[in-house]
Structure 1
């Protein structure tokens, strides 16, 4: 059994209002989403006093005072956005960065082992490559289930279940010597590891307000983006010196090292389960630190938990994200940027092998420049995002409340996030074209390696920023939105990787990479459309969500009343 937190937090967006959290308030306190954050109690008291003394004759004066309140109401008077300490927040972020690292490294550490696996299992390279295709299919589908489950039931149970599946699959892969077992276990491995991608960004949304979300998303994103680059290097070393089973034993050890401190110390953060962290989670979902904290700290009587059954994950919730105009456009363009990055990593080993004739170990080392660049880009862009947020807020007179979160209803979050990546996309496109023609001319290896570094810096940094905006635009279900993001990226990525080698063979390296760069560069005006039309689309979605929540609340109330009436009838008999 699990429940929805009914008190203890006022989430950042109006969508998360009292529909989820039942906080006791003074009847004289302004409670609408537009006025919920006024600190100016003197003005508020004056409004109340004038109303009681003059009645309807002072309506005009009250309207002026109400407008003053609207102008001044920028600092929340409700509970803090999260009760977790800064040290605990940073610990949660570090653990999520580690979790984000596991999924992409799992997909890429496997590449150098393909020839050895094919030889030991006595199958062709094409047969072993089929395990890559099945992996990518589950990589796209798994987050649609895990993300929705994590939004509804909590992050910890979703994480733990996903990594149990992943751990079992790795042990099986290390021990198996059968081709059919390889295919099945790779699917399970993908299902376990890929599902966590949606969860890590959901956790960031749980504990970080939009004003400081950029740097945390950047740090977590660094784990996600460095995996594809370090994976082949680690896989090449392990396969060369310890054999291909060591690749899966390595993944097993990494999982155990992560799971032990996670289970013992990382608390539940899902806002539908623990609110802002002040609501006591289910006993089976508590860490050792939770037991000590809640034993010393009595439960707030204003918090109420409505116990409900754990919902069955619904992948249709992920598809519904695509029904929103702004989300559909953003996810499509983010997939295009991701394809540009992925085609570099997917073709680097084969192209460098054809041109420079390196062995597996050296080919793995060639991924290091783009790997370090993606890490630098993700972290630095996160801090730049927060700086641009503060700069814009100061410019428009928007008061930032890092403690309780900001109401983004009248804040141009779309522009704040996307305006800093437009130059990056243009520069990245130019470098991308240069990379293709450097390979075409077969110049010294230092040239494409340096260019790959700048591709990681500009192209990867761009879609890391969009990942943050996706969470900002869908605060009611950030893990589900991230799952939709992952689904679109994997679908487009699967198609692109299946045709890129034939494209290179047909039109050459230079024109192939030029075409890819022109696609994601020429589609960049999509971001201008989102800047202009995104705010009204976001407000339209917010109002729809409020109406939907009101209907759901009415149904629950009606059901409770009906059950109470039935109970009364039975007692009277």
Structure 2
């Protein structure tokens, strides 16, 4: 842990947080912040879309490589595992060398992996390349959260985290739609990976041209000019930027790379007691999307494109849920500031129980309506509310970690990726056998029960979290 991790009682007082007391937190205007956040969200979108875009072509891949369904699911499980490992190893680098150079390097590696996937003719090689694909782009999600922490102070941070989370995780929700549309248009599963390669190069071009360095240990509040070429963005040459640069501006202490930093943060009781319950909800939601894609094809006999259209409700729920949660978190923070004993845990987790109950109700409804082969309308509506509530909890946990570790925001939010992705890998890995043994209704009733019990540690952190020293 670095010196910046003061005990929580001191950190919870906004006026003692960081450099923001002696100078404006960021010189960027609101439109500039929105553009930067959009670029980061677009970059993170590549990560979130790359897993579910594979769902519509699962059967085609299984037919091309004569393999069983359980072996075919390994491509999903492997992706989730490396989606969790990648940020743990690479995100701390962004806190050291800067956000910009790491994002650009990862996008190039991601593009190369997609081109190789589009050309592969061996299933074992497809698995290896899917791991590389996940490992290379997954850190973009936690780096995006780190950028929000660089740009926005605590009071309005919830809205920005909600906006970025909603946009980047929308890929998780509409990935099947994109996969179905591309497959339907080109009549080849390889076209999906060519699409991702083009997307990767497009995002690289935008980030290279317009994404400035935001790391506060390098550029302070964006008024200090980067000294290294890899941190320099072409837009800094514009007169409107040049006028605001000030070499005397303060910067945060420069951290050093430590492979164990992510895990040291993760083992802090308030962190794991919050992230594990959130990850259980996210894992059950991932299973929900996986089950829905399979059942719509096998039992409702939907085409690939029609399956993708069903996921639109999930995409809408993703965006609206994250945006609304961000606004609620900002309001909750302002209310907490008025109290004599300020608690960042109450400010960020006070409504977690409401979102959990919505998730539990959605899991039960989804499981039994799909089990009984009802009309798809209630299933589609349920997916909307499940997505809204599930990704709302991810916004809460991400915002909380940025608040707790402002000097290591990318490292801290990589903990969110580790827990949600590894938990999802575990759930998806046993999903087929669970459904075979318990039916779809029984399986999601079990998930609902786990989610309900897992809410208890989060409520404990919300009430008693300030007693822990970080």
**TM-score, normalized by length of structure 1?**
0.75
Equivalent in the alignment of 1:337: 281
Structure 1 residues 135 and 34: CA distance shift in structure 2, 3 A: closer
Question: 2:83 matched to 1:147?
Answer: no
Alignment correspondent of 2:457? 526
| d(CA) in 2 for partners of 1:150, 1:505 | 43
**Structure 1 runs of 4+ with >6 Å offset:** 32-36, 73-76
* 1:458 equivalenced with 2:397 (yes/no): no
Query: In structure 1, what is the Cα distance between the partners aligned to 2:177 and 2:155?
Result: 36
2:406 is paired with a residue of what secondary structure? coil
CA positional deviation for 1:295: 5.1
- Which residue of 104, 108, 113 maps to 1:160? 104
1:93 and 2:37 are equivalent in the alignment: yes
More displaced 10-residue stretch of structure 1: 347-356 or 166-175: 347-356
Query: How do residues 160-559 of structure 1 correspond to structure 2 at under 5 angstroms?
Result: 160-242=104-186, 243-281=188-226, 282-292=228-238, 296=243, 299-301=246-248, 314-393=258-337, 395-396=338-339, 411-537=342-468, 540-541=469-470
Measure the CA separation in 1 of the matches of 2:71 and 2:443: 27
Number of corresponding residues:
463
SS in 1 for 2:4: helix
Partner SS, residue 508 of structure 1: helix
Tell me the TM-score normalized by structure 2.
0.90
Deviations 1:148-204 (A, max 9, x none): 101111100110111110011112222333334322322221111112111011111
CA distance in 1, matches of 2:11, 2:419: 33
Q: Separation in 2 of the partners of 1:427 and 1:390?
A: 25
SS of the aligned residue for 1:468 comes to helix
* RMSD between superposed Cα atoms in Å: 2.9
2:170–2:315 Cα contact (<8 Å) kept: yes
Describe the SS at the equivalent of 2:212.
Answer: coil
Q: Deviations over 1:384-425 (max 9, x none)?
A: 1112222332x327xxxxxxxxxxxx6311101111232221
1:3-22 to 2 correspondences below 5 Å: 15=4
Question: Hey, what's the Cα distance between the residues in 1 that align with 2:172 and 2:321?
Answer: 15
Residues 41-190 of structure 1 mapped to structure 2, 5 A cutoff: 78-121=22-65, 125-190=69-134
Asked if the contact 2:39–2:207 (Cα under 8 Å) also holds between the matched residues in 1, the reply is yes
State the distance in 1 between where 2:12 and 2:57 align.
57
**1:111 to 1:77, Cα distance in 2 relative to 1, 3 A:** closer
Deviation by residue 1:277-328 (Cα, 9 ceiling, x = unmatched): 122212332111223457556643465899x9x96x5432111112211112
Give the whole-Å Cα distance in 1 for the aligned partners of 2:102 and 2:422. Answer: 23
Deviations 1:207-259 (A, max 9, x none): 11111011101111112331122111111121122112211121122122222
SS at match of 1:269: coil
**Do 2:317 and 2:387's aligned partners in 1 also have CA atoms closer than 8 Å?**
yes
Note the C-alpha offset of 1:121: 4.6
Kindly indicate whether the alpha-carbon contact (under 8 Å) linking 1:98 and 1:258 is maintained by their aligned counterparts in 2: yes
Q: Which sits farther off after the overlay, 122-131 or 208-217?
A: 122-131
Partners in 2 of 1:75 and 1:198 — Cα distance?
22
Secondary structure of the equivalent of 1:167? helix
Change (3 A) 1:297 1:384: closer
